Structure 1
């Protein structure tokens, strides 16, 4: 059988799932309405909230 054990995961292997297009996506940053930087989905341009 297989032995499962915890192992470190490289951050390059992790992708954020966009809530609008429901696909793994890279993240960009743009200036929001209040002048603060906001994370946005690179595929659809939808802002991704921090929570």
Structure 2
């Protein structure tokens, strides 16, 4: 499902202590960036046609 990993990342971030910026899950972050990049490539190929 689209955005599930991003949702999980935001959920982890939001569960941190209020007023504190906790380290985020860098592996999950990289997966989200890769997924966004793939979606962008797919959209670009659709726009070209």
Shorter-chain TM band? under 0.3
TM-score, normalised via structure 2 length:
0.27
**Structure with greater contact order relative to length (CA < 8 Å, sep ≥ 6):** 2
Higher normalized strand content (fraction of residues): 1
TM-score, normalised via structure 1 length:
0.26
